[in-house]
Amino acid sequence: MSYVPSTPAQRQEMLRAVGLSSWRELYRDVPADMLLEGELDLPSGMSELEVGRAVSEMAEKNTRFSTILRGAGAYDHYIPALVKSIPAKEEFLTAYTPYQAEMSQGVLQSIFEYQTMICELTGMDVSNASVYDGATAAAEAAAMCRDRKCRVTLISGAAHPDVINTVRTYCYGTGDELRVVPVKDGRTDMDALREMLTAEIASFYVQQPNFFGLLEDCDALGELTHAAGALFVMGCNPISLGVLKTPRDCGADVAVGEGQPLGLPLGYGGPYLGFMATTNKHMRKLPGRIVGETVDAKGERCYVLSLQAREQHIRREKASSNICSNEALCALTASVYLAVMGPQGLKEAAEQCMAKSHYLMRGLTALPGVELVYTGPFFHEFVTSLPRQAEVLAALEQNGILGGLPVEGGVLWCATEKQSRAELDKAIAVVEEVLAK
């Protein structure tokens, strides 16, 4: 099959139609010394078999771990086969922005189902069609909470560093201010937040569970934020919502998060999706698209873009967001995952995450010199001190295990429902062996 879209004769015909005799004349304003003369120094072409071998050789340079005990924002969860199969269908692989929205009823329905599930998960009234990733969702939430009088955003220092930096970047671009609330014993410092909640504060963002894996007292944080007249934004791990209180129950005005745990593989960091949901009161400030359900002229169910990328239709300087697309295929994958798992399946996955991470914590902290850095309830991540840290992590790697992430004060470990007891016991044994030397 030829991948050249036109024949030499067709190209000459097109040139004649515009009054030219050669393609060089298309670049007659370009200096001659900038034009390529002769052939490119490229290797000769390869057959399909040879290309396959070359790609396989490159893939062999990758390190693939049989056991992953690291999270920090991207998590190794079990993905049912259906979740990989359905979005791979050809009609979904080409899904993109529905510019003639109501002509694309299938796309609109898939977005509507996704929005509905996100609302059920978070307890919120309305969700958008997704944004680029969790950090972007946090930054967009901060932007939608600001008004003319309140231009300062507060963010917990216990949030993911990448989220903090992304929100800071957005604030820099708009000339707004970001202030980081200090951390005390691994959690948001409540007393510091109380002092920082002044009249100029638009919103406060907290991550649940936070970067160190600990559970924040979101009810109290929300009450404190609202008492100061600011909006409360919660960044959530969607799997944890299988067992934790919803953001709505915690009093959140906006719920955001990274959707990667919902059926998306780690994939070297992407593509992922950011979910956003809010209450009816703040619906019109929500960026991106919102699909609604209605009936057509025949009284049959159909879908419409109830609200769409307003920033595409007004002057840029008046737009509150630069989001003008959505992660359609990733959002569809998340929808399929949630449908396949169901409420009970999601709850079971969350419970297994908690059980296995606590099992790993008990095994590690039973070893000499390994202690919890932060005490208190956690979901599926925790920080420990770790003597001879570099040696331990290297030994784990040699055994096909990706150990925890080095952070200030120790190592951030993670366990999900995917790891078996035998895998966790092996990891603990490797750490014990190194520390015994």
Radius of gyration of the chain (CA): 26
Distance between alpha carbon 18 and the CA centroid of its chain, in Å?
Answer: 48
CATH of residue 71's domain is 3.90.1150.10
Indicate if 322 and 261 belong to the same structural domain.
Answer: yes
* Structure confidence at residue 95 (pLDDT): 53
Indicate if 234 and 311 belong to the same structural domain.
Answer: yes
Domain boundary among 312, 337, 362: 337
Burial class (CB in 10 A: 0-12, 13-18, 19+), 189: middle
Indicate if 333 and 370 belong to the same structural domain.
Answer: no
pTM (global) more than 0.85 = yes
At how many degrees (to 10) do helices 328-365 and 105-122 cross? 30
Indicate if 132 and 251 belong to the same structural domain.
Answer: yes
Compute how many other C-beta atoms are within 10 angstroms of the C-beta atom of residue 390: 9
**Backbone φ and ψ of 205, nearest 5°:** -110, 130
For residues 34 and 26, the answer to whether their CB atoms sit within 8 Å is no
Indicate if 406 and 275 belong to the same structural domain.
Answer: no
* Structure confidence at residue 98 (pLDDT): 62
The answer to whether residue 33 sits within a structural domain is no
Residue identified by tokens 């095994």 is 363
Amino acid at 86: I
For residue 203, the cross-strand partners are: 153, 231
Report the number of distinct structural domains present in the chain.
2
- Residue 351 DSSP SS3: helix
For residues 65 and 76, the answer to whether their CB atoms sit within 8 Å is no
Indicate if 283 and 396 belong to the same structural domain.
Answer: no
For residues 429 and 364, the answer to whether their CB atoms sit within 8 Å is no
CA gap 332, 89 in Å, rounded: 11
For residues 206 and 233, the answer to whether their CB atoms sit within 8 Å is yes
Indicate if 330 and 273 belong to the same structural domain.
Answer: yes
Positive or negative, the Cα torsion across 284, 289, 294, 296?
Answer: positive
The closest of 156, 294, 300 to 233, measured between CA atoms, is 156
Average pLDDT, the chain: 92
Tokens representing residue 296 in the block: 């057509």
For residues 364 and 384, the answer to whether their CB atoms sit within 8 Å is yes
Domain boundary among 337, 358, 390: 337
Amino acid at 297: A
Peptide bond into 209 cis (omega under 30): yes
Tokens representing residue 278 in the block: 């809010």
Domain boundary among 311, 337, 363: 337
For residues 401 and 415, the answer to whether their CB atoms sit within 8 Å is no
Indicate if 331 and 311 belong to the same structural domain.
Answer: yes
Burial class (CB in 10 A: 0-12, 13-18, 19+), 419: buried
Stated as kind and residue range, the H or E segment containing 49 is helix 48-59
For residue 214, the cross-strand partners are: 378
Indicate if 352 and 238 belong to the same structural domain.
Answer: no
The answer to whether residue 26 sits within a structural domain is no
- Residue 294 DSSP SS3: strand
CA gap 189, 186 in Å, rounded: 9
CA gap 14, 16 in Å, rounded: 5
Residues 6+ apart with CB under 8 A from 249: 123
Indicate if 129 and 73 belong to the same structural domain.
Answer: no
Query: Which segments of the chain have a pLDDT < 70?
Result: 1-4, 94-99, 309-319
Going by DSSP bridges, is the β-strand pair 410-414/405-407 parallel, antiparallel, or unpaired?
A: antiparallel
* Structure confidence at residue 99 (pLDDT): 66
The answer to whether residue 38 sits within a structural domain is no
* Structure confidence at residue 18 (pLDDT): 93
Expressed as residue numbers, the domain containing 311 is: 81-337
For residues 422 and 357, the answer to whether their CB atoms sit within 8 Å is no
**Backbone φ and ψ of 235, nearest 5°:** -95, 125
CATH of residue 194's domain is 3.40.640.10
